[in-house]
């Protein structure tokens, strides 16, 4: 295989590439925050006039809550009653699986194509 000579990249184009990469990084990190995706599905299951017993705390646990600065059950209520919802959204799960599998398939296939060129040139096609 003939040796590949890459074109020289102008300074302006280098800067454009840097700006593109930085913008993409910011978008990938900032967009989920902005769109509210960066969070979990959970809700506070409210108990009116909570007591430690109603919150399922044993005397030993209550002692520790108090030492941690939670004077009564009402102060700890929102922490104790904040429950996760683990019901599965199958559509979202399938979309996520397809995106991840598709990504890795493309990655390995395209990498292999590039890798063959590297090996061909490195070992002079021998």
HEC string of 41-99 equals CEEECCCCCCCCCCCCCCHHHHHHHHHCCCCCHHHHHHHHCEEECCCCCHHHHHHHHHH
CB of 72 to another protein, least distance (A): 15
Scanning the structure block, which residue is given the tokens 């102008």? 10
Min dist CB 23 to another protein, Å, is 11
In the bound complex, what is the minimum distance in angstroms from residue 34's beta carbon to another protein? Answer: 9
Q: What are phi and psi of 92, to 5 degrees?
A: -65, -35
Stretch 57-86: interaction string toward another protein, x if CB under 8 A: xx-xx--xx-xx-------x--xx---x-x
What 3-state DSSP class applies to 13? helix
Of these, 43, 74, 100, 105, which contacts another protein (CB under 8 A)? 100
Site for another protein in 24-53 (CB under 8 A): 24-33, 35, 37-41
Q: Which of 51, 72, 105, 117 binds another protein (CB under 8 A)?
A: 117
């Amino acid at each position: 295989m003939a040796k590949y000579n890459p074109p020289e990249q102008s300074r302006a184009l280098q800067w454009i590439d840097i700006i593109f990469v930085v913008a993409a990084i910011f978008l990938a990190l900032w967009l989920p925050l902005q769109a509210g995706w960066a969070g979990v599905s959970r809700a506070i299951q409210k108990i009116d006039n909570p007591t430690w017993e109603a919150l399922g705390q044993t005397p030993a646990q209550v002692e520790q809550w108090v030492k941690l600065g939670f004077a009564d059950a009402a102060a700890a209520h929102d922490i104790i009653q904040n429950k996760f919802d683990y019901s599965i959204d199958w559509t979202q799960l399938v979309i996520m699986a397809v995106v991840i599998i598709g990504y890795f398939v493309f990655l390995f296939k395209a990498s292999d194509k590039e890798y063959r060129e590297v090996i061909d040139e490195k070992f002079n096609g021998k």
